[in-house]
């Protein structure tokens, strides 16, 4: 009955490709864990905070800003304005990306040794830095397509990135093995660069086709060249929304980076040696957590599309639509969460042994299974709050949750080991969910 509803259609597309992408990535991590071991996975995961920070600085806020300001194109068909918005946001993000790339490449040894406390990550950081501009390109273009509710393009870029990355790493690995070379985790980082390149090419082809195929925009590019004043106004609009979002996201990612960096350090205080600490960290973040997060492809897809729909309902004063979105989100996320919890409780230990050959991963999966209902509810309610313009709420809730997790990292992990961090994850996610539900109580 509602097959033409943009939320349902978009969710189906994003969820299908999200599951396909996660399915590929899931077995890719199994491959990495068996080839490079838990310690190699720990080294690989240590570079993630650097990428997350650069993404938040360069493009996270800009992607949302582009999505918001091009959303009106579907109604008024103002392709000139939407192109100007995309192009302006793209230029700003590329300038920031170039600066981040240069900084990380130049100071990789300092970042690895003094900030990540692991000098072996320096060559990985130099390679990863080259992916930042490519990620900025396809993120800006994805923001445009999210805004006009055409989710097929972001889905294709996501799938292309995964397929090319996994395929390239496997081919490099097979070639090295055939010549007698010993594979290192560097191959996985090279594959990340190749995957980002593929994603960028797909998104560039899609946006080229979008604007050049529109009969209404035949003289689009000749017009926009003469509107320097409009570009300055557009840049001001984008930055007014993107800067607060980017600052919030950067601060959150900075705290998450501290968390990720200090977990192995606190495990050293618990009594592990460096190899054991990295191995345990690799099992948790590279094996157990990806499996727990696998079903969130559904809730992530809904969250992406809820923001513009709730924003539109809020601007038109349609409180009934917002109330329905809140209630349905909580109901379906609870149902999905309880089903996932039951599944991981029953089969978590077996999954850890069969998939990763790790009893420790199975133990982590069982403990983390209780996080599912709270994680799914919080992610969708955060998107609704953002759509209502209450970004300060979501920022505050994320900060409170992170500070609670950091307390567990610094005070529980040295005493109880990695189990202390698992307790912190559960407690912080429960707290964030309670705060989100309380903030939308009037719609319940």
Q: Give the span between the Cα atoms of 43 and 134, in whole angstroms.
A: 23
Residue 72 pLDDT: 63
Residue 253 pLDDT: 85
pLDDT tens-digit profile of 286-326? 888 888 888 877 777 677 667 667 777 777 788 888 888 88
Contact by Cβ (8 Å): 424, 408: yes
Q: Tell me: do 244 and 330 sit in the same domain.
A: no
Q: Which residue has the tokens 């055939």?
A: 178
| pLDDT tier at 215, thresholds 50, 70, 90 | very low
Q: Tell me: do 383 and 301 sit in the same domain.
A: yes
Q: Tell me: do 241 and 390 sit in the same domain.
A: no
For residue 277 the two structure tokens come to 């600490």
In this structure, is residue 268 part of a structural domain? no
For 417, phi then psi, to 5°, come to 75, -155
Q: Tell me: do 242 and 304 sit in the same domain.
A: no
Summarize the confidence of residues 182-204 as an average pLDDT: 89
Residue 24 pLDDT: 82
Domain count, the chain: 2
In this structure, is residue 275 part of a structural domain? no
Residue 234 pLDDT: 83
Q: Tell me: do 58 and 197 sit in the same domain.
A: yes
When comparing pLDDT for 48 and 9, which is higher? 48
Q: Tell me: do 328 and 386 sit in the same domain.
A: yes
pLDDT at position 77 over 70: no
Q: Which of 30-34, 270-274, 282-286, 416-420 has the lowest mean pLDDT?
A: 30-34
Residue 285 pLDDT: 85
pLDDT at position 80 over 80: no
In this structure, is residue 258 part of a structural domain? no
The 3-state secondary structure of the chain, one letter per residue: CCCCCHHHHHHHHHHHHHHHHHHHHHHHHHHHHHHHHHHHHHHHHHCHHHHHHHHHHHHHHHHHHHHHHCCCHHHHCCHHHHHHHHHHHHHHHHHHHHHHHHHHHHCHHHHHHHHCCCHHHHHHHHHHHCCHHHHHHHHHHHHHHHHCCCCHHHHHHHHHHHHHHHHHHHHHHHHHHHCCCCCCCHHHHHHHHHHHHHHHHHHHHHHHHHHHCCHHHCCHHHHHCCCHHHHHHHHHHHHHHHHHHHHHHHHHHHHHHHHHHHHHHHHHHHCCCHHHHHHHHHHHHHHHHHHHHCCHHHHHHHHHHHHHHHHHHHHCCCHHHHHHHHHHHHHHHHHHHHHHHHHHHHHHHHHHHHHHCCHHHHHHHHHHHHHHHHHHHHHHHHHHHHHCCCHHHHHHHHHHHHHHHHHHHHHCHHHHCHHHHHHHHHHHHHHHHHHHHHHCHHHC
In this structure, is residue 37 part of a structural domain? yes
Q: Tell me: do 3 and 142 sit in the same domain.
A: yes
Q: Tell me: do 4 and 136 sit in the same domain.
A: yes
C-alpha distances (whole Å) from 234 to each of 59, 245, 386 are 16, 17, 21
In this structure, is residue 435 part of a structural domain? yes
C-alpha distances (whole Å) from 210 to each of 68, 198, 216 are 18, 18, 11
In this structure, is residue 372 part of a structural domain? yes
Residue 1 pLDDT: 38
In this structure, is residue 138 part of a structural domain? yes
Residue finishing a domain among 231, 250, 269: 250
Q: Tell me: do 232 and 299 sit in the same domain.
A: no
Residue finishing a domain among 232, 250, 268: 250
pLDDT at position 70 over 50: yes
In this structure, is residue 242 part of a structural domain? yes
pLDDT at position 421 over 60: yes
Summarize the confidence of residues 46-64 as an average pLDDT: 88
pLDDT tens-digit profile of 97-106? 999 999 999 9
pLDDT tens-digit profile of 423-440? 999 999 999 999 999 998
Q: Give the span between the Cα atoms of 84 and 91, in whole angstroms.
A: 11
Q: Give the span between the Cα atoms of 32 and 30, in whole angstroms.
A: 5
When comparing pLDDT for 88 and 146, which is higher? 88
- For residues 67, 69, 72 and 76, what is the CA-based torsion angle, rounded to 10 degrees? -130
Q: Tell me: do 312 and 228 sit in the same domain.
A: no
Summarize the confidence of residues 60-68 as an average pLDDT: 85
Residue finishing a domain among 233, 250, 267: 250
pLDDT at position 370 over 50: yes
- Length of the chain in residues, anyone? 444
C-alpha distances (whole Å) from 208 to each of 145, 160, 194, 230 are 12, 17, 21, 22
For residue 25 the two structure tokens come to 């990535």
Residue 48's Cβ-count burial label (10 Å; 0-12, 13-18, 19+) is: middle
> pTM of the entire structure?
0.75
When comparing pLDDT for 350 and 383, which is higher? 350
pLDDT at position 3 over 50: no
Max mean pLDDT among 173-177, 199-203, 392-396 falls in: 199-203
When comparing pLDDT for 183 and 239, which is higher? 239
Q: Tell me: do 178 and 304 sit in the same domain.
A: no
Q: Tell me: do 68 and 189 sit in the same domain.
A: yes
Residue 343's Cβ-count burial label (10 Å; 0-12, 13-18, 19+) is: middle
Q: Give the span between the Cα atoms of 444 and 222, in whole angstroms.
A: 51
* Residue span of the structural domain in which 354 resides: 295-444
* Longest CA–CA separation in the chain, Å: 68
């Amino acid at each position: 009955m509602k097959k033409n509803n943009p939320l349902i259609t978009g969710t189906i597309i994003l969820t299908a490709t999200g599951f396909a992408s996660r399915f590929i990535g899931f077995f890719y991590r199994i491959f990495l864990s068996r080839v490079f071991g838990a310690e190699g996975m720990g080294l690989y995961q240590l570079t993630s905070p650097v990428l997350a920070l650069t993404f938040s600085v360069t493009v996270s806020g800009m992607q949302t800003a582009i999505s918001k300001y091009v959303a009106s194109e579907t109604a008024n068909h103002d392709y000139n304005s939407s192109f100007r918005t995309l192009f302006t946001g793209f230029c700003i993000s590329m300038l920031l990306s170039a600066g981040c790339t240069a900084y990380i490449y130049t100071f990789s040894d300092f970042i690895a040794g003094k900030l990540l406390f692991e000098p072996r990550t320096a060559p990985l950081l130099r390679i990863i830095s080259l992916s930042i501009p490519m990620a900025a390109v396809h993120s800006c273009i994805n923001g445009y397509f999210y805004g006009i509710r055409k989710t097929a393009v972001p889905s294709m870029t996501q799938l292309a990135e995964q397929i090319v990355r996994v395929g390239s790493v496997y081919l490099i690995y097979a070639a090295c093995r055939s010549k007698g070379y010993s594979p290192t985790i560097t191959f996985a980082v090279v594959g990340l660069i190749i995957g980002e390149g593929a994603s960028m090419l797909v998104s560039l082809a899609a946006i080229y086709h979008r604007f050049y195929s529109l009969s209404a925009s035949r003289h689009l590019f000749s017009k926009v060249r003469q509107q320097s004043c409009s570009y300055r106004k557009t840049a001001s609009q984008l930055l007014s929304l993107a800067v607060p979002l980017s600052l919030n996201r950067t601060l959150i990612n900075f705290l998450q980076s501290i968390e990720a960096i200090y977990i192995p350090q606190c495990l050293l205080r618990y009594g592990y040696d460096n190899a054991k600490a990295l191995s345990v960290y690799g099992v948790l973040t590279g094996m157990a957590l990806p499996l727990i997060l696998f079903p969130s492809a559904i809730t992530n897809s809904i969250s992406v599309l809820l923001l513009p729909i709730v924003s539109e309902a809020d601007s038109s004063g349609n409180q009934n639509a917002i109330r329905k979105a809140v209630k349905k989100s909580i109901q379906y996320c609870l149902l999905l969460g309880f089903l996932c919890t039951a599944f991981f409780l029953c089969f978590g230990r077996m999954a850890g042994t069969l998939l990763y050959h790790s009893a420790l991963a199975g133990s982590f999966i069982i403990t983390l299974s209780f996080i599912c209902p709270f994680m799914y509810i919080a992610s969708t309610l955060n998107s609704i709050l953002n759509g209502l313009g209450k970004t300060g709420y979501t920022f505050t809730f994320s900060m409170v949750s992170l500070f609670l997790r950091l307390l567990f990292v610094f005070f529980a992990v040295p005493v109880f080991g990695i189990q202390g961090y698992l307790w912190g994850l559960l407690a912080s996610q429960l707290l964030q969910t309670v705060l989100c539900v309380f903030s939308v109580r009037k719609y319940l």
